[in-house]
Structure 1
Amino acid sequence: MLKIGTRLTIETIKNGEVEERFQCKIAEISKKYIYIDYPISERTGRTSLFLDGSEFMVSYVGHDGNVYKFSTEVIGRKKMKIPVLTIKMPNKDEFRKIQRREYVRVEVPLDVAIHPKQEDQSPLITRTIDISGGGIAVVGLGKEKEYQSGDIMDISIVLPFQSNDYSYFFSQAEVIRTIRGHDASSSKITYKFVNIDEKEREKMIKFCFEKQLDNRRKVLNQ
């Protein structure tokens, strides 16, 4: 499930809450250990040294497009081509697939086409406000006056992955809430995906996670 070069997000936990997040990559793997480059704090942009025995949560995107989490601890340090931290390799049953309530939500403006199932409702070509593996929010463009909570619609979005590959996302979605703004461009409609093919959901989750990591890198490079 893990491979050299996989980017990891590390979260330190205090009193049940995320205290700080870090980014790193896997430099080497053995049966018992994972060797990572020194994690970089998202808050300070600096490398951080963890004491032996330090415990934290790790998340990453798997080869299947799903996001996984596991807990681990620092075992020690090692000198390879670069200095690395040695962390414990979890057992197979300790990898946890992120559930719907934990889906990463990112703010990103993407073109989206929405086609209602009701013949008396007109389609909406707009842009997203934010997206996640569970649903999306879009600019209403006046349709928030026409659409109602519970309406089922077909949604299609083009996802631009960092590899310069474009992937089409398709799903049915249910209107959750409509919010009127002071004008059409500030109105909002929120949807949750329904009857979604899990391969499509995995595609969306992978894009969101990739986008989140890209946003973090931009912050660190400022």
Structure 2
Amino acid sequence: MLPKVKQLLFIQVASSDEEEAAIEYKSRVEDEDEGELLIDVPIIEGTGKYKRLFLGDELSLYFVSGEGVKHYFNSHVLGFKEEVVKLIRIRKPELSAITSVQRRSFLRVEAELEIAVKMSAHVRFIGMTDDVGGGGISFLCDGRWPVKAGQELDCWLLIPYRNGSLEHAQFKAEIVRVKATETGRNQIMAKFVTISDLERQKIIRFCFERQLDYRKN
């Protein structure tokens, strides 16, 4: 069964920060259109705290049927619609993709990819990812760069594909967390805040290829 209008949804948002990724939010389907659902801004039940979502954010969701069965599916944010209240547009799942078993596969894979970062007009540096996904990245950079949570970065990710071709994916990312390592470098966990569908698909294609490689090994 597919989620219906007025159906309650329970949501977790993909994040490089494990604590943030574990938070469960509640929302409701307010409308639907061809290929998409329109939902309320997610909220943490009992706290009144809203979750700001961004284009391309990956979501793990479930809804509960009248018989009490949880139905899980994955989706991502397509955009926003301004009504009386703001609504979030997410990809409507295929019926075949809904399961009674949770599968939080956010297409996040381990990968060492070169990333060029621009913090300001005068501060640019090169880092190396340790994982990438359709909703965000984690990368390592020299500890001397003044990075901190909440900063927005302009990024260019170099992506190699299995056929030997190379692509650059360009996006803006917000730093979620900075962790100092024993080697003197910083591990930066960041989520995409501005990324086109085309650029995001480049990254997801790489993740799919990497997952296929893992299954073969």
Q: Which structure 2 residues correspond to residues 53-132 of structure 1 after superposition, within 5 A?
A: 93-94=94-95, 96=97, 102-116=105-119, 118-119=120-121, 122-132=123-133
CA distance in 2, matches of 1:102, 1:115: 30
Q: Which structure 2 residues correspond to residues 42-61 of structure 1 after superposition, within 5 A?
A: none
1:146-192 CA-to-partner distances (Å, cap 9, x unmatched) read: 1111111111111111111111111111111100112224x301111
CA distance in 2, matches of 1:108, 1:181: 18
Question: Which AA in structure 1 matches 2:148?
Answer: Q
Partner in structure 2 of residue 77 of structure 1: none
1:116-154 CA-to-partner distances (Å, cap 9, x unmatched) read: 1x346x2220110100001111113114x6111111111
The structural deviation recorded for 1:102 is 4.3
Number of residues of Structure 1 aligned to a counterpart in Structure 2: 124
Partner in structure 1 of residue 184 of structure 2: 184
The structural deviation recorded for 1:96 is 4.7
- Any gaps of 5 or more consecutive residues in structure 1? 1-56, 60-67, 71-92
CA distance in 1, matches of 2:207, 2:167: 13
Give the % identical residues.
30
Partner in structure 2 of residue 43 of structure 1: none
The structural deviation recorded for 1:216 is 1.8
Question: Which AA in structure 2 matches 1:111?
Answer: E
Partner in structure 2 of residue 211 of structure 1: 210
CA distance in 1, matches of 2:130, 2:136: 11
Secondary structure of the 1:194 match is strand
Partner in structure 2 of residue 85 of structure 1: none
CA distance in 2, matches of 1:189, 1:150: 11
Partner in structure 2 of residue 9 of structure 1: none
Cα 1:160/1:180, change in 2 over 3 Å:
same
Question: Which AA in structure 2 matches 1:192?
Answer: K
CA distance in 2, matches of 1:95, 1:114: 39
CA distance in 2, matches of 1:126, 1:195: 20
Do the aligned partners of 2:126 and 2:141 also contact (CA within 8 Å) in 1? Answer: no
Matched, 1:198 2:184: no
- Any gaps of 5 or more consecutive residues in structure 2? 1-71, 75-90, 99-103
CA RMSD of aligned residues (A): 2.8
Question: Which AA in structure 2 matches 1:135?
Answer: G
Do the aligned partners of 1:103 and 1:205 also contact (CA within 8 Å) in 2? Answer: no
CA distance in 1, matches of 2:135, 2:105: 9
Do the aligned partners of 2:153 and 2:173 also contact (CA within 8 Å) in 1? Answer: yes
CA distance in 2, matches of 1:156, 1:201: 12
